[in-house]
């Protein structure tokens, strides 16, 4: 059981390729299901500011998936709201 706790405490870094072909590192914060879709909540790993990034998960096949930017403000607000509610006792949010 101790190993499971250690794994949870370690941050997961995802390296994604942006639309310009540049690799960008993100810290994985959470996965949120909303309206039948899955969204990743990430934070850029190399920025001084703590800005949250929300990406929609689009399954490609059993082993691969794409991550799409979300342009719908209502979806962004809803997913961010779920994330904030989950972590309200752990994190401090600035709106």
Question: What are the boundaries of each domain within the chain?
Answer: 2-86
Q: What is the mean pLDDT of residues 65-90?
A: 92
Q: Has residue 1 got a pLDDT over 50?
A: no
> Hey, is 46 helix, strand or coil?
coil
Q: Are 54 and 41 in contact (CB under 8 A)?
A: yes
Residue-level pLDDT at 8? 44
pLDDT in tens, 30-74: 999 999 999 999 998 887 667 889 999 999 998 889 999 999 999
Confidence of residue 18 (pLDDT cuts 50, 70, 90): confident
Q: What percent of the chain clears pLDDT 90, i.e. is strictly above it?
A: 48
């Amino acid at each position: 059981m101790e190993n499971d706790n250690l794994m949870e405490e370690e941050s997961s870094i995802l390296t994604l390729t942006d639309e310009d072909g540049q690799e960008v590192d993100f810290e994985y914060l959470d996965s949120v299901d909303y309206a039948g879709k899955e969204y990743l909540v990430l934070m850029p790993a190399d920025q001084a500011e703590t800005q949250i990034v929300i990406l929609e998960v689009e399954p490609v096949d059993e082993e691969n998936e794409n991550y799409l930017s979300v342009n719908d403000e209502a979806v962004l607000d809803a997913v961010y709201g779920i994330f904030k509610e989950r972590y309200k006792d752990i994190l401090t949010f600035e709106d």
